[in-house]
Amino acid sequence: MTAVQPLQLLSPEGGASVEPPEGLDPERLLSLYRNMVRLRVFDRRALNLQRQGRINFYAPASGQEAAMIGSAAALEPQDVAYPTYRESGVCLQRGMSLRTMADQLFGNARDLVKGRQMPNHWSSREHNIVSISSCIATQIPQAAGTGMAQRFRGENAATICYFGDGATSEGDFHAGLNFAGVFRANTVFFCQNNQWAITVPVTRQTAAPSIAIKASAYGFEGIRIDGNDLLVVYKTVREALEKARSGGGPTLIEALTYRMGPHSTSDDPRRYRTEQEVETWRRRDPIERLQRYLEARGWIDAEQVERIAAEAKEEVDRAISEAEAVGPPEPETLFEDVYARPTPQLERERRELLDLIRRGVVSRVTHTPIRGS
């Protein structure tokens, strides 16, 4: 079967011929470009932090900035996002500060989830970002359910669900999309087809000509787009969200992109993909592409580009320095947020732990037995 060509607005060269979609004036485009640069800088620093043993894990987003920033920019505050562990750009664009993101990487006392999640697993009630699971595709039925609830309640809100090409081989993908189609959920399913699910290429995930075409089996629209084209990402996601909020049902969007780095810090991509492939996609860098477009339109110049890069580095350095200086969560927090009202068993365990700490049997910092005790 012939592969479906992705929709595209911005040429690979970033020429000035196309007008920006509604909602993207020059000031907004500069803001999105700035966030893409901030994400790239944060990404590289976080990857180095893990290599240096200062954090335990990281899943980089480099190469996928347009897909993340562009899609999140289309969301309204009341919309709900179900990300994966790679959607750092969604958190950033939704308003989460770099400092808050760095706090989570270190699992320190300021971490919103009190050190209970792996690094890269952000969540925020304030920003309508639902807690992330490491297990692949589990968020898809949950997002379908949230979109169903929004529709049943008549809310002017939608849900966006992020996942990769590998998730489309999981049963939860099919169950979630089937429910969403049957019940006309206010859900947009956003697949970042970055070509590789850890070591498995997308050609081993499906024999279909695209992932987007799978939506037809569930009775709703599927759209394939160029995920490195910020303009088409924003426009397509915005229209799909508006359709969902107005009762038009779900949409499956397949954004073709590429992860330039490893799947995570537990991975070595050199073992399964060629440098030629990586170089081909490097020439399609979404940040450089948008930058060329802005330059061609006269909306940014070389001096601004350098200033934005320098400001991003300074901001990321400051956020990481401040986060790393904060100590771990207090041991008492282990027993918080487990139940609305702590059970007698939890209260007893809390008293026992604090007594062990007081007697020097357990470290207050690491919550582990002290050698020789």
Residues with catalytic function: 259, 263, 272
Residues 6+ apart with CB under 8 A from 282: 260
Q: Do the Cβ atoms of 10 and 285 come closer than 8 Å? A: no
DSSP state of 7: B
DSSP state of 51: H
The CA dihedral of 197, 198, 204, 207, to the nearest 10 degrees, is 10
Q: List C-alpha distances in Å: 159 to 19, 27, 31, 145, 332.
A: 28, 26, 23, 9, 35
Beta strands 200-201 and 196-197: pairing type? antiparallel
Q: Do the Cβ atoms of 168 and 210 come closer than 8 Å? A: no
Q: Do the Cβ atoms of 60 and 121 come closer than 8 Å? A: no
Query: Between helices 286-296 and 230-245, what is the axis angle to 10°?
Result: 100
Q: Do the Cβ atoms of 94 and 81 come closer than 8 Å? A: yes
Query: Between helices 302-324 and 26-51, what is the axis angle to 10°?
Result: 40
The pair of three-digit structure tokens given for residue 162, joined into one six-digit string:
């992020």
CB atoms within 10 A of CB 334: 17
In the chain, where do the E strands start and end? Answer: 80-82, 159-164, 187-193, 196-197, 200-201, 221-226, 251-256
Q: Which amino acid is at 98?
A: L
Cα separation of 248 and 244, whole Å? 5
**Residue 62 phi/psi, 5° resolution?**
-60, 130
